């Protein structure tokens, strides 16, 4: 009789754990889809140049939220992502704030040197 109750308890606990796991996976999937939609305007290769024309380079933003500047991966992570902007915080704590101008242009505010760069999409 005690083993029968134990079996019922184990089956109930297993069922509840399965439901919880499925619910968490669904929420995670829904969140990932939303992040993919928010990230899509920023994805791709970008040519960047400072307003004075002293610096130019190439910047890549990929679907894994990595940023590569002139072939070198930056250390940091996306700390904010909305329909209006993407904020990437580097390992020193400085923020790179990207804003969409249109489908082929972004602006980038670099908090380390307090400069704004224009980014043009490379096909």
Q: Which residues of 65-101 are buried (b: 16+ CB within 10 A; e: fewer)?
A: bebeeeeeeeebebeebeeebbbbbbeeeeebbbbee
What domains can you pick out in the chain, each with its CATH number?
1-123 (2.40.128.210)
Indicate the length of the chain as a whole number: 123
Q: What is the pTM of this model?
A: 0.70
Average pLDDT score over the chain? 83
Please give the order of strands across the beta sheet that includes 72-73: 72-73, 67-69, 56-61, 44-49, 115-121, 105-110, 95-102, 85-90, 76-81
* Residue pLDDT, tens place only, 90-122: 999 999 999 999 989 999 999 988 889 999 999
Which three-class secondary structure state does DSSP give residue 54?
coil
Does residue 78 have a pLDDT over 70?
yes
pLDDT of residue 36: 77
Mean pLDDT over residues 75-83, rounded?
93
Q: For the chain, give the percent of residues with pLDDT over 70.
A: 74
> DSSP H helical segments within the chain, as ranges?
2-39
């Amino acid at each position: 009789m005690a083993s029968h109750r134990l079996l019922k308890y184990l089956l109930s606990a297993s069922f509840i754990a399965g439901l919880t796991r499925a619910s968490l996976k669904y929420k995670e999937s829904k969140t990932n889809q939303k992040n993919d939609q928010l990230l899509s305007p920023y994805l791709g290769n970008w040519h960047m140049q400072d307003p004075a024309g002293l610096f130019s380079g190439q910047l890549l933003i990929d679907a894994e939220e990595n940023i590569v500047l002139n072939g070198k991966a930056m250390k940091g992570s996306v700390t904010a992502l909305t329909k209006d902007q993407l904020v990437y915080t580097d390992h020193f704590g400085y923020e790179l704030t990207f804003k969409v101008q249109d489908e082929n242009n972004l602006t980038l505010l670099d908090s380390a040197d307090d400069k704004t760069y224009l980014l043009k999409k490379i096909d």
